[in-house]
Structure 1
Amino acid sequence: MDKVITIHQPDFLPWTGFFHRWMVSDLLIILDDVQFIRRGWHHRDKIKTAQGVKWLTVPVKKKGRYFDTINRIEINDAEDWKKSHLNQIRSAYGKAPRFHVLFPQLQKIYSKPWRYLMDLNLAMLKFIADQLDIRVPFCMASDFSIALKGTEKLLALVQAVQGRAYLTGLGARDYLKEYLFQAQAIPVIWSPYTCPDYPQLHHGFAPYLSILDALMMLPPRKIKRLCSGDTDHAQMHA
């Protein structure tokens, strides 16, 4: 059987597509040793509120750290971001079906003295994996100390773990040099995943939110169906 590897940066409370690729792979490599993207997803994601879709953002120290890797980024505790996050989550999801189950667990995570963004993000990913019973293992790219960039780094990581196929999202078509994988007889599997709609609060459906939205609205078995790519919307609403 092919050993399918997926590689993803450690985003903050990412969307269902992240967990789809984790669930359907044999190993997730967390790409923690690449440059932090200031206006990307590493320290923020979207939730749905009564005022529309809003960002939930972890403030980070930026001055003089433009080229820092994700695993070196420190949280900026000059802002009371923990209280702000919990208030935003309570306001947005206080009436959600699973709010009273999840919110105390989120409070425990937020109560810890996080210094590095990486540690907070990993704690959130592990929390969600526990909720969804994801048992696919993960490892850190930094453990391999591969001093390459771009596709060359991704290929070297897959080879380092004896991967036989590489799973990635369609967005990678803009930069991935697929021919480098082909030259090593490692097929690239392009995931066409899109999240089926599901019941949400605050009128209508908003796509591409943090998985936190689905966690608040659906039991784990239905979220696993969402992450599987099942497009049977009727079963989402059953």
Structure 2
Amino acid sequence: MRLAGYQPHYFPRLHYLQRTLSSDVFEISDYLQFVRKHDFVLPNGSHQRGKSYQAHTPIKLVNGVFSLVVPTKDNLSTIMETPVVYTPDWRQKHLASIRSGYGRASQFHTLFLEVEALLSQQYASLGELTIRTVLWSIVRVITDEPIAKFSLSAVNQLLSKTKHPFRLRKIVLASETGVPAQEGNPNQWIVELCRKLRVCEYVTGGSASSAYMDYNLFAHHKVDVIVQDWKCPSYRQQFPSCGFQPNLSALDLIFNEPLHVRQGILE
């Protein structure tokens, strides 16, 4: 059994989805602290600060890549305790940008109403909003079939019953595992999650692998660490004069390509 984990992101980027789908169990780290920016480790070992994408998602517009940003009250709280600011109301601007970028995309008229419905609600926290967008993104690379609501229980039921080409069979919230929130050493926390969820493999990204992964600790607990090695293949995008832009928001792939192509890109 293989585990992957991530903080919830606003309409996550494609590498996030690919890592999620390549695991048997996906853990959403909902009780970690919200940060707008964090350090990325570059291939040469140096560090660079950049967007965390917990409240951002990159889409493609006529002039190139554009970030949709969810405004929040940044009070050093967890993701589930960080309020979304709705005054002024940003949702219509996001929907207008999405419509501008993807209104002519092949799957837009089939799926835009779902995105509109997701954003029409007011969420008590950033975590509630972003978890819903993560679940929607997962569903729409699993199936085109209608789903009544994008709740965790509904999506888990869908994963257990729907034939699809990915490993993913279950999604859990870290806050519901019984494993206490991370304090200090992230390696020990991940190991405890692996033990609790009875998995023997853990998928991590290249940045985490370079920054803090303690391979000896995982080996001691008989957990194999797998470093994600996925490069975004090209697929159909809008505004070809801007060139192909890899690893954009899930919205980009989902609106631009039919289901079988989405699945092939993320396998």
If the length of structure 2 is used for normalisation, what is the TM-score? 0.80
CA RMSD of aligned residues (A): 1.3
Alignment partner, residue 50 of structure 1: 62
**1:145 CA displacement:** 4.0
Give the counterpart of 2:238 among 189, 198, 201. Answer: 201
Match of 1:222 in 2: 261
* Distance (Å, rounded) in 2 between the aligned partners of 1:178 and 1:38: 28
The answer to whether 1:176 aligns with 2:213 is yes
CA deviation digits over 1:74-113, x for unaligned, max 9? 1011121111100110111111111111111111111112
Q: Structure 2 stretches of 5 or more lacking a match?
A: 38-51, 144-158, 160-168
Higher mean C-alpha displacement, 128-137 vs 40-49: 128-137
Counterpart position of 1:154? 190
**What residue number does 1:79 align with?**
88
Task: Encode CA deviations 1:138-183: one digit per residue, 9 max, x unaligned.
Answer: 1111122414331111111111111111111122122211221011
SS in 2 for 1:118: helix
* 1:184 to partner: Cα distance: 0.9
Aligned-pair identity (%): 28
Deviating beyond 6 angstroms after TM superposition, the runs of 4 or more aligned structure 1 residues are none
Aligned residues: 223
Q: Structure 2 counterpart of 1:14, which letter?
A: P
Please report how far the alpha carbon of residue 207 of structure 1 lies from its aligned counterpart in structure 2 after TM superposition.
Answer: 1.3
Task: Note the alpha carbon deviations across 1:183-202, whole angstroms, 9 max, x for none.
Answer: 11111011101110111111
> How high is the TM-score relative to the length of structure 1?
0.89
- State the SS of the aligned residue for 1:127: helix
130, 141, 145: which one aligns with 1:132: 141
Alignment check: 8 A CA contact 2:10 2:130 kept: yes
- Other-structure match for 2:104: 95
Paired with 1:198 and 1:118, the residues of 2 have a C-alpha distance of 30
Partner residue in 1 for 2:166 = none
Residues in 2 aligned to 1:27 and 1:147: alpha-carbon distance in whole angstroms: 18
Matched letter for residue 200 of structure 1 = Q
Corresponding residue number in structure 2 for 1:13: 11
Q: Structure 1, residues 44-76: CA drift from partner, whole Å, max 9, x if none?
A: 1100000211101111112xx12x111111101
Change (3 A) 1:53 1:172: same
Q: Does 1:186 align with 2:223?
A: yes
For 2:254 and 2:142, the matched residues in 1 are separated by: 13
